[in-house]
Chains A and B, each alone.
Chain A
């Protein structure tokens, strides 16, 4: 486990988080009392075999699911008991998701996809599109801004998805295998973008990956096995 940004403010604190699926005796314990912190500007890689609970934890941290027990603190505030509207508002303003598949809305252009979180946050259409184009430019996609999402290459789509996650300047970026579906060149490029944004803008980035090379480039690694963090 390495840590390069230990002095930074904790954006996220997780205490004894547990979660299970299924019913009765068929219940699977996906997380077993996980605790950790993520600091501003720090990129944390969660690594481990498939089914060890990495993605489950990501969805809990993204407030898309409720844990069985434990607590998640975002900027010091407990989240597990927060009502749905609070959690929804936080997902819009404080959390950015990047998934393995880009999950863009194909009926929209690249800039419209990126502008969506801004529109939800109440930014007027023209301003939101302007901001979206600015982000796409930073990601080298200024000439693709007005293309429909399904007319972009895989790497471009994933960069658009990253721009969408970053456009609201969130405190926390959750990336679930963001390069898992890309070739080596695109994978490096996408990862560079995430790292640069974290360094420049200071959100905490939590990254789930199978790629050991990418994990090594992160500020710290948290290996996970059977729903718990383990020593490397």
Chain B
């Protein structure tokens, strides 16, 4: 009875271990995936900015295996010339780069947005709307107003929602953008929300030609936001672009390294923590089996005398382990799916690095595979060692000692 209870506890441990593993991974990777989607949709996969003046000190080409690779040393010592040189040529070359889906030229600058009663410092992003939509989620990020109005009117702006809140702006309102050279009367065509509070409270979008005129930068000074087909390949593509174009090229992984490392640390740490539940269940199971082998030594010896082979004896224990494993996996995965769904419905308002009103979960089969793999390894070891010990019982010795 006690053994059945202990085995039941081990089974529960496997069920909850598998479920918690999946749920925690679904949450951490859910937030990470959502964050990546947000930053890709806002700042793109790759950004090309200033031109290098001293390429030699920063880039090394490595080709010991026949394939070109690029190693970047610290860029801190490198000297740059602000902005892209020969933007037309570079745009064409960038667009022709394998895997590139779009290039948006952006002119960045600073200004102060004024209404009748309030003012707010802003970062100006001069863009060509069609180009920028191709490399970002700007169209989906407009929460009020219309991107079409922005596209069709060179004197229109899109403002971040935090700016709009602060200045109490609504689509159609008039604002004045003040710079170091001139002031522009503009109309609010739309309000966007990226979810990244730093952007939402400082960024405005303006037509590129209007921005050039306003910032007195008729040529150059701009950066490129580049969309690529496989964003996960951005570091390699960025490295090749940097080598080819002699411009500073930063992938989203490099740009957001700090946050990505935080997510990774959370994911790994939760995986380790939750795996210990499975591990402890495995230890419990091992304990039950080890005691069972001691208690059943005589029965094992009798079975051996009846013609059961060491393999048959092992299988008796392994089957019990397999039964616990299968039940643990089936019910664990079921519980995981239900819990993941339930958690995704929990209201949770987050603004800062992304915008969500619910828990974000990631339905990924690999989480289940990992949980199952860990459970298999733990249960296999927990049942295999006692099973092996049982198989090695010498029947004659045990029977002789029993008599």
Contacts and interface: CB of A to CB of B under 8 A. Distances in A.
Interface of A: 55-56, 59, 62, 64-65, 84-85, 88-93, 95, 97, 99-101, 103, 105, 116-117, 120-121, 164, 176-177
Interface in B123-157: none
Given A59-B396, A65-B396, A120-B312, A99 B403 contact: yes
A99 B304 CA distance: 14
B305 A91 contact: yes
B76 to A, nearest CB: 70
A99 to B, nearest CB: 7
B402 A92 contact: no
B12 interface: no
A117 B304 CA distance: 10
A64 B402 CA distance: 15
B403 A91 contact: no
A186 B192 CA distance: 95
B305 A97 contact: yes
Contacts of B304: 64, 88, 91
Nearest to B296: A105
Given A59-B396, A64-B396, A120 B308 contact: yes
A85 B307 CA distance: 9
Nearest to B298: A103
A100 to B, nearest CB: 6
Q: Which 8 A-B pairs have the closest CB atoms?
A: A92-B307, A64-B396, A59-B396, A65-B396, A91-B307, A88-B309, A103-B302, A97-B305
Contacts of B399: 59, 64, 99, 103
A64 B395 contact: yes
A84 B309 CA distance: 8
A89 B308 CA distance: 8
Interface in B289-333: 298-299, 302-310, 312
Contacts of A88: 304, 307-309
B306 A101 contact: no
B92 interface: no
Contact of B299 (A84, A99, A105, A164): A105
B181 interface: no
Contacts of A101: 402-403
B118 interface: no
Interface string B159-203: 000000000000000000000000000000000000000000000
A95 B306 CA distance: 8
Contacts, number: 60
18 contacts: A59-B396, A62-B305, A64-B304, A64-B305, A64-B396, A64-B399, A65-B396, A84-B309, A88-B304, A90-B307, A91-B306, A92-B307, A97-B305, A100-B403, A103-B298, A105-B299, A117-B306, A121-B307
Given A64-B396, A65-B396, A164 B306 contact: yes
Given A64-B395, A103-B298, A89 B307 contact: yes
Nearest to B400: A55
A65 B396 CA distance: 6
A173 to B, nearest CB: 12
Contacts of B402: 101, 103
Contacts of B400: 55-56, 59
Given A59-B400, A91-B305, A99-B302, 7 more contacts: A89-B307, A99-B399, A105-B299, A117-B306, A117-B307, A120-B307, A120-B308
Contact of B309 (A55, A65, A85, A99): A85
Contacts of B308: 88, 92, 120
A105 B305 CA distance: 13
A89 B309 CA distance: 8
A56 B403 CA distance: 12
A227 to B, nearest CB: 15
B298, B305, B400, B403 interface centre (most CB from chain A within 10 Å): B305
A101 B403 CA distance: 8
Nearest to A102: B302
B306 A116 contact: yes
A121 to B, nearest CB: 8
B303 A116 contact: yes
A85 B403 CA distance: 26
A93 B400 CA distance: 23
Contacts of B396: 59, 62, 64-65
Contact of B306 (A55, A84, A85, A120): A120
A223 to B, nearest CB: 21
Contacts of A116: 303, 306
A117 B305 CA distance: 10
Contacts of A103: 298-299, 302, 399, 402
Contacts of A90: 307
Interface string B360-402: 0000000000000000000000000000000000111001101
A169 to B, nearest CB: 13
Contacts of A164: 306
A157 to B, nearest CB: 13
Contacts of B302: 99, 103, 105
A59 B396 CA distance: 6
Contacts of A93: 307
Contacts of B307: 88-93, 95, 117, 120-121
A97 B306 contact: yes
A187 B183 CA distance: 117
